[in-house]
Structure 1
Amino acid sequence: MATTATTSTAQTLATIEPNPSSASTDDQTAKAINKRYEGLMTVRSKAIKGKGAWYWVHLEPMLVPNSETGLPKAVKLRCSLCEAMFSASNPSRTASEHLKRGTCPNFSSSVIPKPISSISPSQISSLGSPSGSNHSNHRKRSSGSGGGVSYNANSLELVDPTQFCPEFSYIASPHLRLSGGKEDLGALEMLENNVKKLKSPKAPPCPALSKSQVDSAINLLAEWVYESCGSVSLSSIENPKFKAFLNQVGLPAISLREIAGARLDTKFEQVKNESEAKIKDAMFFQIASDGWKTKGLGSSYGLVGGEKLVNLTVNLPNGSSVFRKAVFTNGPVSSKYAEEVLWETITSICGGVARQCVGIVADKFKAKALRNLENQNHWMVNISCQVQGFTSLIKDFNKELTLFKTVIENCVRVANFFNTKLQVRNSFLKYQLQQHEHEYTELRMFRVPSNDFENIVSMYAMLEDIWDSAHALQLVVLDESYKVVCAEDPVAVEVGEMIRSAEFWHELEAVRSLVKLVKEMVMEIEAERPLIGRCLPLWEDLRRKVKDWCVQFNVPEGPLEKVIEKRFKKNYHPAWSAAFILDPLYLFKDTSGKYLPPFKYLTPEQEKDVDKLITRLVSREEAHIVLMELMKWRSEGLDPTYAQAVQFKRPDPITGKMKVANPQSSRLVWETSLREFKLLGKVAVRLLFLHATLCGFKSNWSFLRWVCTQGNSRVGMDRAQKMIFIAAHAKLERRDFSSEEDKDTELFAMSNGEDDLLNKVFMDASSV
């Protein structure tokens, strides 16, 4: 079967020629255009649901491809009524000029419905103007009791109501005049009742659901609650409005005891059995351990009081991941405890065959625990997450680069001065409002980080605040009122000189640009979740980008290179070099036409690391054999047909970037086409599947707070474990690695108005 698969792969891919990578500028342009297109589609989908402008029903965003590269080169708006194409820069203006002004031959303003409630009383009265309004036209109706009521018969003349609603067709004639008798009151009452029905129509009775439909609906509802993992409060099941909703759609009320009891147990057992079956079928696996870090940089789980949730996930060779368990900790955790938790997790999966676990990837915590487990089990490769390594660079820059210290200190002085000086702040807010016009509904003061600058998020936010307010700040220091403040406060003089200085803004731009460069690489790593063979190219890519940054901002390379090399050595693992050499994805074509491993890109120390690691991963008796196979791999490499098949790339449909067509092909080639490397092949297939980052099931804050309130309740913690397991399993199945807070933040950022969203998308696109 393997031979057939190999032959089929060779026949299919032999005709494939390597597709050269697109130019960097094309990739950036395509990314910007895709981002603009996605923003327009988001706005349109919300509008179609009734939460946006009416004209999006008729305007449809379209991607215009480049005839040469196939990548998108522009975004257009197509009118669905007449097929005309327009620029997507200003949809509101396009709608006004093309639809409202009558340019579109197939559009009529009458298609925009007007509710009855929008018709004013004056409009209604003008539809049937009364005649004979003089008091002489009034006639009295006397009663035996002596009481009398006067009616103005002409003022009650009706217009044909069927022009508003067919339901009013019961009125016999549009020329009907009321006489003022009892029959008139009856007609008025009937009219009033029908208007009330229109204003608050009753929903038609919901058809009765079958028992199977009810059970299916309740199961889906329960699973939604479990998978929300705290975003939906369990107590909301008892909310009267929610119960009324269930009744409205024909479902019975659900008790909290049922949701948190038998249904939870049943669903947990089902998911647990599925996960264990997947792990059992795998030949080997990798443990991913996320959440050891305390609250701070890169932590997703830190809580006030030190509570943390450590998630343990199992990565499988086919590229999938399954959740194993969650461990709750309170306060600092020792390296020994972390080591015990990891080893207990491995043995609980493998039993007595611990070799099935070939490695661990964890966030940067207690590296000693990872080293100890690796030293005790020679076949394991334990590494720290690449996201942590790159993110920690920003902290390194803060601590070791004079440029960063100077910029941050200056920005803190500016921010504190403008935040605390009332007269200056009022002047600043005035100019800020003029600058942003309708872009901001609320103007905030500058965000200032803590004194130790450990909070990278706050530090970067402060830099962005000051950079975005550059124009307003410069206008403030030129204002006459600021000169009055300078006469009384020497700090104002220093801050004013700083703001007027071109050097201050140049340095701020440099620091902001470097932080943004690293953050973008972190976001790319989180999105792509690279394997271990990608580690060396990632750091080399960082060095290249930093050199370009140094040239752009005229900054000496030496100090920055030292910081990067220091962080690289802290995170480096010999497995990086070995996986890079063994991965067919990085083979290069030499002058003879062979595809050979890229040993020439390694340092002498890294070459020695390759030999040491590969011999460590086999038995002592096999060490000399695997080294001979490594020498053969170095001199012969891989057949060009298979090498081209592995390296074949195609554009990503979302980002437009060139990506490997089949990420699993690197490992599959060793299992099928390179069988002559018996020992080296076993090492390669285990190394090449190892993840360099954490997939990370991210719990939300509300759930973690709920977990912490359980205290020592055994029942509560048991339910919490089960809900986490179900939610994590569902997220990993969907490959959804974001938290609900991240999604809500993005949603609210897009809900500030259609124009705000479009402006943001277009500004981001133009800045690329």
Structure 2
Amino acid sequence: MANTNSNPEDTFSVPLLSPEDVAVKAVNKRYEGLVTVRTKAIKGKGAWYWAHFEPILVRNPETNLPKAVKLKCTLCDAVFSASNPSRTASEHLKRGTCPNFSSVSKSISPQFQLPPLASPSSYNHRKRTSQHVGCSSSSSPQFQQLVLSGGKEDLGALAMLEDSVKKLKSPKSWPGPALNKGQSDSAFDLLADWLYESCGSVSVSSLEHPKFKAFLNQVGLPGLSRREFLGARLDSKFDKAKLESEARIREAVFFQVASDGWKNRNCGHGEENLVKFMVNLPNGTSVFEKAVFMSGSVPSDYAEEVLWESITGICGSAVRRCVSVVADKYRAKALRNLEIRNHWMVNLSCQLQGFVSLIKDFIKELPLFKTVIDNCLKVGNVFNGNSQVRDSFHKFRSEDVELPGLIRVPTLQCDKSKTAASVFATVEDILSCARVLHAVVLDDSYKVICVEDPLASEVAQMIQEVAFWNELEAVHSLMKLIKDMAEEIEAERPLVAQCLPLWEELKSKVKDWCAKFRVNEGPAEKIVEKRFKKNYHPAWSAAFILDPQYLTRDASGKYLPPFKCLNHEQEKDVDRLITRLVSREEAHIALMELMKWRSEGLEPLYAQAVQVKQRDPGTGKMKIANPQSSRLVWETCLKDFKCLGKVAVRLLFLQATSCGFKCNWPSMRWVCVQRNSRVGLHRAQKMIFIAAHAKLERRDFSSEEEKDAELFAMASSDQDDTLNDVFADASSV
């Protein structure tokens, strides 16, 4: 590997940020965040105490650069740490430490002061006492404390409120209005839909929980038994969903089978798989077919058998209706063998898995990654393993509550599928606490440790070197680049015609990354090209050429297929694939039509209509307005291309990813528990089918875990949310 401290032509030589710049950037970010929070709070969208606190920057007297962020009390000018504003408010304002806060709080309008709740008896007693001594209610000092903005009439309302609170604390069960049979059946039907579609997130046994039964009683529903939801009602829901799915598949002239989940997962009962089979239809919709439970590592030939049984189970003897299989594993053998035996099929490996595997390729093959991972392990071992360093790290870390408790260290001996995620997490952790790491290694207590620990001394020197942070930033940038593209692929589920443009976009971004971080292009491009060839299928080139979306306008105004974007071998792939997908008698006709398509293309009016784009309201990106138009043009406007058209309409609807319906972890564990029970496993498969059918009808491809993570992330982004204040107080105890 190249020396990082050599001349500019070396791989990692040019510094980007000095340690001082990193620290200043972190301080400024913290200050700007607190200012934003205070601005929102003053407008009534945050915690009350921000009206009395103001973020300030503490500067270094020698360099005049910001070195810390503090909170200043606007009432008494006292200065505090900015690590936990909620706790500071409690200790300084609420507990009376601030000498000026009490006078300010007394001047607040009475409508903001809530007295202790009074019972009806105490209110009547005070009323009688007031009448007896002949004093008005407004002149009694005791009574003045209870006056609200509505006057003395509020006391009765407060007493009633107190009684209501007491009833809520110890509710008495009373039956609600009884529902008739039709209403009860409708309610239970909706309850069953929710239970089945939650697919394991809600336990069937929870239906017999006493509190849930009390809830049903409150709303006027009769009691129920969990057996009712695992018997005839489950069978009825499954049969209905199955009939709808089969009807939609029968209507399609041809289809693609997507198979996802071949990779092993540990759900607490060893290595288990739940392989899902979906049917992708030409109109762009998908239908769930089945979920097959697998245990242990699955051989390629067995996977081939399962795939073929699934195809024949869907279409019987009319196997030519299945024109493609896309799967997340076994591309090399199972898919290829099926394709060889059935010349009309195009079997593809999942693009999402290709991009994920590319990250692993960089980790294993690019020297830069090995260097960064080794350095991260050293930092993690010192800061996590040495108790004195760990204490010092926590002390300086208290300035920024967003930093991790410990640095997540990659365990490279673990399952390979987890390696990429663990490396990315480690790099992110170290980058996020750059300022803290600098502060720790410059502390006197750390210097004492370095005398006896050579590794601690090496880590201190490394953290103070610019090259370490440049390399760390480079690795993080490349992993995030590929990770973001993979997430977009999973969300957009691209078609086969989009594969070549996707990989060209990736190659261009990797080239830009090499230029930005002064990394030698050769090894990086070689790794990308190797993965590209491993995933490449001739259908990528053929679909790219036949898709009117990619037609380009030449000097004469014609819209022609982009053959100039293919290399010589890819052009041959187009010819070979087209002749394979038609009969021998039609092969020469198809090639002649391909030549005509190459020279004449599509009429400009139709080409422009196909290529119309509109902005996606969700992502803000420009997308093809009607993705189905590419296939429809071949079926309606290009009828003269009889043989080539048959190939085009079978290629252009094919999806390049196998991902679709996601089983949540509860359902995975649920199936694993039932794996030794034929009846239990059969019921679990039915519930998964119902849930998958409903989610695909809604075109909902996310899992409950992802939705919960997004919800929690949204909550944590609002720094003034009340829940965050509670968490902050709890963590400070």
- TM-score of the superposition, structure 2-length normalised? 0.78
Give me the whole-angstrom Cα distance separating, in 1, the residues matched to 2:584 and 2:383. 68
Amino acid at match of 1:540: E
How much does 1:752 deviate?
A: 3.6
* Contact 2:255/2:279 (<8 A) preserved: yes
Name the structure 2 match of 1:79. none
Name the structure 2 match of 1:664. 628
Give me the whole-angstrom Cα distance separating, in 2, the residues matched to 1:320 and 1:411. 45
Structure 1: state its 5+ residue gaps: 1-42, 56-91, 93-108, 135-153, 170-190, 296-300, 761-768
Name the structure 2 match of 1:350. 315
| SS of equivalent to 2:220 | coil
Amino acid at match of 1:535: C
Query: Structure 2 residue aligned with 1:449, among 396, 405, 410?
Result: 410
Name the structure 1 match of 2:337. 372
* Contact 2:613/2:625 (<8 A) preserved: yes
* Contact 2:449/2:456 (<8 A) preserved: yes
Amino acid at match of 2:185: D
Name the structure 2 match of 1:587. 551
Matched, 1:556 2:556: no
Query: Structure 2 residue aligned with 1:471, among 429, 435, 454?
Result: 435
How much does 1:249 deviate?
A: 1.2
Give me the whole-angstrom Cα distance separating, in 2, the residues matched to 1:255 and 1:289. 36
Give me the whole-angstrom Cα distance separating, in 1, the residues matched to 2:408 and 2:202. 31
How much does 1:607 deviate?
A: 0.1
How much does 1:164 deviate?
A: 5.4
| SS of equivalent to 1:751 | helix
How much does 1:713 deviate?
A: 1.4
Cα distance, 1:500–1:195 mapped onto 2, change above 3 Å: closer
Cα distance, 1:117–1:577 mapped onto 2, change above 3 Å: farther
Cα distance, 1:756–1:288 mapped onto 2, change above 3 Å: farther
* Contact 1:235/1:256 (<8 A) preserved: yes
* Contact 1:630/1:680 (<8 A) preserved: yes
Give me the whole-angstrom Cα distance separating, in 1, the residues matched to 2:544 and 2:159. 80
Name the structure 1 match of 2:500. 536
Cα distance, 1:160–1:491 mapped onto 2, change above 3 Å: closer
Give me the whole-angstrom Cα distance separating, in 2, the residues matched to 1:526 and 1:157. 66
| SS of equivalent to 2:256 | strand
Cα distance, 1:743–1:449 mapped onto 2, change above 3 Å: same
How much does 1:604 deviate?
A: 0.1
Deviations 1:523-570 (A, max 9, x none): 111111100000000000001111111111011110001000000000
Amino acid at match of 1:679: C
Name the structure 2 match of 1:256. 226
Give me the whole-angstrom Cα distance separating, in 2, the residues matched to 1:110 and 1:280. 72
Give me the whole-angstrom Cα distance separating, in 2, the residues matched to 1:649 and 1:563. 34
How much does 1:433 deviate?
A: 1.1
| SS of equivalent to 2:398 | helix
Cα distance, 1:634–1:430 mapped onto 2, change above 3 Å: same
Query: Structure 2 residue aligned with 1:246, among 213, 216, 222?
Result: 216
Name the structure 2 match of 1:307. 272
Name the structure 2 match of 1:614. 578
Give me the whole-angstrom Cα distance separating, in 1, the residues matched to 2:450 and 2:617. 57
How much does 1:744 deviate?
A: 1.8
How much does 1:470 deviate?
A: 0.5
Cα distance, 1:519–1:197 mapped onto 2, change above 3 Å: closer
Name the structure 1 match of 2:288. 323
Matched, 1:513 2:471: no
Matched, 1:215 2:223: no
Name the structure 2 match of 1:341. 306
**Number of residue pairs the alignment of both structures matches:** 609
Query: Structure 1 residue aligned with 2:163, among 174, 196, 208?
Result: 196
Deviations 1:275-318 (A, max 9, x none): 000000001000000011224xxxxx866511110001000001
* Contact 2:118/2:155 (<8 A) preserved: no
Give me the whole-angstrom Cα distance separating, in 2, the residues matched to 1:252 and 1:413. 63
| SS of equivalent to 1:638 | coil
Q: What CA RMSD, in Å, does the superposition of the two structures yield over aligned residues?
A: 3.4
Give me the whole-angstrom Cα distance separating, in 2, the residues matched to 1:323 and 1:695. 12
Amino acid at match of 1:731: K
Cα distance, 1:639–1:133 mapped onto 2, change above 3 Å: same
Deviations 1:698-754 (A, max 9, x none): 112222212112232121011011001101111111111122122222222333473
- TM-score of the superposition, structure 1-length normalised? 0.74
| SS of equivalent to 2:278 | strand
* Contact 1:133/1:155 (<8 A) preserved: no
How much does 1:210 deviate?
A: 3.1
Give me the whole-angstrom Cα distance separating, in 2, the residues matched to 1:742 and 1:313. 21
Aligned-pair identity (%): 63
* Contact 2:267/2:672 (<8 A) preserved: no
Name the structure 2 match of 1:494. 458
Name the structure 2 match of 1:389. 354
Cα distance, 1:124–1:671 mapped onto 2, change above 3 Å: same
How much does 1:116 deviate?
A: 6.3
Cα distance, 1:330–1:446 mapped onto 2, change above 3 Å: same
* Contact 1:131/1:155 (<8 A) preserved: no
Amino acid at match of 1:447: R
Matched, 1:639 2:603: yes
Deviations 1:308-354 (A, max 9, x none): 10001000001110111111011011111111111111111211111
Matched, 1:284 2:284: no
Cα distance, 1:155–1:597 mapped onto 2, change above 3 Å: closer
Deviations 1:96-121 (A, max 9, x none): xxxxxxxxxxxxx9998876657999
Give me the whole-angstrom Cα distance separating, in 1, the residues matched to 2:694 and 2:254. 23
| SS of equivalent to 2:719 | helix
Cα distance, 1:740–1:111 mapped onto 2, change above 3 Å: farther
| SS of equivalent to 1:246 | helix
Amino acid at match of 1:490: P
Matched, 1:577 2:541: yes
Cα distance, 1:110–1:224 mapped onto 2, change above 3 Å: farther
Cα distance, 1:420–1:618 mapped onto 2, change above 3 Å: same
Amino acid at match of 1:412: L
Cα distance, 1:289–1:756 mapped onto 2, change above 3 Å: farther
Name the structure 2 match of 1:718. 682
* Contact 1:302/1:308 (<8 A) preserved: no
Amino acid at match of 1:396: D
